[in-house]
């Protein structure tokens, strides 16, 4: 990748906590200017530690981090100024007011007051009506949005969102995704962590998979999903089949021993290029044509665990 396109560069980064636990193991990662990057991994994988090291909250044991060319230790202020962080944990300044806490955050980065900017941020997060509320009077989802507002208060170029949708309802999650996309459209680079494949698939341009402190792969979302993101459609039949009719040979089908269920493996449509036909419709038509009646159906997406299992299989 050309250096001009790289806004954040993590080089040979390792972290051993004082008890000796190796939380990060030789992480190398370049983030492109303007992309949404999702870091996907299970509990304890090292996601928050990696963000902590990049933001200068956790000391690395070795390696370095360049934020838009600035070393995050020797040029801490320049590096940190470019970063907004929405932490995983809610820290409470329970009695501060929304407007004050967000404006104060801006000041911490040495930026002059800019009430228009703060107003824009609060409006975009539907917090304007609550600007004079004390944090303690807000709902959990609103508090989370205040964290986002704080992170945006100093107009960062890179925004980290650590588990943005943990404990957030479906509606707020959608709102948040819309806000994140809006930021990206204005040129902000976004790095988010998540446990959810669906979230990574919905939001990201590229996905990194981390487990046990190791970055197992970094891949364009579409490439990763088409490699790993298969779904299975299970069809329950009204009457058992002994063999599959030849007219169904084109489909990736397997028939259960009792002849009552058909499994169909297909690619998730979100990750499919738009010109690929969706074969479920064709399959259902072919089944109707062959007079095979269906009593029930169910779909299952390969889980994060399945993805890890196939990764481990690929890389013995
Ligand atoms: N201060 C610390 N001292 C010792 N070990 C730590 C410390 N902080 C984190 N760890 C360990 O490092 C590992 C990675 O933790 P981290 O918080 O980075 O994981 P994570 O990927 O963010 O997990 P989650 O999805 O649960 O948020 C865990 O095993 C954790 O117990
Ligand atoms: Mg975490």
In a domain, 100, yes or no: yes
Q: Is 20 in the pocket of ligand 1 (CB under 6 A)?
A: no
Question: Tokens 């303690």 appear where?
Answer: 136
Cα(254) to ligand 2 centroid in Å equals: 39
Cα(132) to ligand 2 centroid in Å equals: 31
Same domain, 46 and 192: yes
pLDDT (mean) for 265-277: 54
Q: Quote the CA–CA distance of 295 and 234 in Å, as a whole number.
A: 11
Q: Which ligand is nearest to the CA of 58?
A: 1
Cα(166) to ligand 1 centroid in Å equals: 16
Q: Quote the CA–CA distance of 6 and 119 in Å, as a whole number.
A: 31
In a domain, 53, yes or no: yes
- Judge whether 268 and 225 are in contact, CB under 8 Å: yes
What is the model's pTM? Answer: 0.79
Q: Is the pLDDT of residue 272 over 50?
A: no
Domain count, the chain: 2
The region, left, alpha or beta by phi > 0 then psi within -120 to 50, assigned to residue 313 is alpha
Q: Is 15 in the pocket of ligand 1 (CB under 6 A)?
A: no
Same domain, 190 and 258: no
Q: What is the pLDDT of residue 311?
A: 66
Burial 51-65 (b: 16+ CB within 10 A, else e): bbbbbbebebeebeb
Question: Tokens 């820290």 appear where?
Answer: 91
State which ligand 1 atom lies nearest to the alpha carbon of 21. Answer: 5
- Which pair of structure tokens corresponds to residue 73? 């230790």
| CATH number, position 135 | 3.40.50.300
Phi and psi for 125 in degrees, rounded to 5?
-105, 15
In a domain, 128, yes or no: yes
In a domain, 152, yes or no: yes
Around Cβ 259, how many Cβ atoms within 10 Å? 14
What number of H helices and E strands is found in the chain? 10, 14
State the residue range of the domain holding 72.
3-226
| CATH number, position 275 | 3.30.70
- Which pair of structure tokens corresponds to residue 165? 């949708």
Rg (CA), the chain: 24
Question: Tokens 């990696």 appear where?
Answer: 50
Atom 12 (ligand 1): residue with closest C-alpha?
A: 23
Burial class (CB in 10 A: 0-12, 13-18, 19+), 256: middle
In a domain, 289, yes or no: yes
Around Cβ 267, how many Cβ atoms within 10 Å? 16
In a domain, 32, yes or no: yes
Confidence of residue 228 (pLDDT cuts 50, 70, 90): low
Q: Is 194 in the pocket of ligand 1 (CB under 6 A)?
A: no
pLDDT top residue among 4 and 85: 85
Same domain, 273 and 218: no
For 261-282, give the DSSP string.
Answer: EEEEEEE-STTS-TTS--HHHH
Q: Quote the CA–CA distance of 59 and 43 in Å, as a whole number.
A: 21
Closest CA to 24 of 58, 74, 73: 58
pLDDT tens for 137-161 read 998 888 888 999 999 999 999 999 9
- Judge whether 30 and 6 are in contact, CB under 8 Å: yes
In a domain, 316, yes or no: no
Same domain, 115 and 237: no
Q: Is the pLDDT of residue 276 over 50?
A: no
Report the interhelical angle of 170-185 vs 140-152 (nearest 10°): 10
Q: Quote the CA–CA distance of 261 and 259 in Å, as a whole number.
A: 6
pLDDT top residue among 121 and 88: 121
Closest CA to 30 of 48, 10, 49, 3: 10
pLDDT (mean) for 193-212: 88
- Judge whether 230 and 268 are in contact, CB under 8 Å: yes
Q: Is the pLDDT of residue 46 over 90?
A: yes
């Amino acid at each position: 990748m050309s250096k001009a396109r790289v806004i954040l560069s993590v080089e040979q980064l390792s972290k051993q906590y004082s008890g000796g636990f190796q939380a990060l193991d030789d992480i190398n990662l370049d983030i492109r200017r303007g992309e949404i990057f999702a870091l996907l991994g299970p509990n304890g994988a090292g996601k928050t530690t990696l963000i902590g090291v990049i933001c200068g909250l956790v000391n690395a044991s070795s390696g370095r981090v360049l934020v838009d060319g600035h070393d995050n230790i020797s040029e801490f202020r320049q590096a940190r100024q470019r970063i907004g962080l929405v932490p995983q944990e809610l820290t409470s300044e329970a009695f501060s007011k929304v407007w004050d806490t967000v404006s104060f955050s801006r000041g911490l980065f040495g930026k002059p007051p800019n009430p228009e900017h703060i107003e824009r941020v609060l409006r975009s997060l539907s917090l304007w009506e609550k600007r004079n509320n004390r944090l303690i009077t807000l709902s959990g989802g609103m508090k989370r949005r205040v964290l986002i507002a704080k992170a945006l208060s100093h107009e960062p170029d890179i925004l980290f969102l650590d588990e943005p949708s943990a404990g957030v309802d479906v509606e707020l999650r959608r709102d948040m995704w819309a806000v994140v996309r809006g930021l990206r459209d204005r040129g902000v680079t976004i790095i988010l962590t998540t446990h959810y494949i669906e979230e990574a698939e919905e939001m990201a341009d590229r996905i990194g998979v981390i487990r046990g402190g190791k970055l197992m792969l970094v891949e364009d979302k579409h490439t990763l999903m088409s490699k790993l993101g298969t779904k299975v459609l299970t069809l329950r039949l009204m009457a058992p089949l002994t063999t599959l009719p030849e007219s169904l040979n084109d489909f990736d089908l397997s028939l259960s021993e009792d002849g009552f269920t058909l499994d169909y493996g297909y690619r998730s449509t979100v990750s499919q290029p738009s010109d690929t036909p969706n074969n479920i419709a064709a399959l259902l038509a072919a089944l109707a044509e062959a007079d095979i009646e269906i009593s029930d159906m169910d779909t299952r997406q390969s889980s994060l665990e399945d993805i890890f299992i196939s990764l481990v299989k690929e890389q013995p």
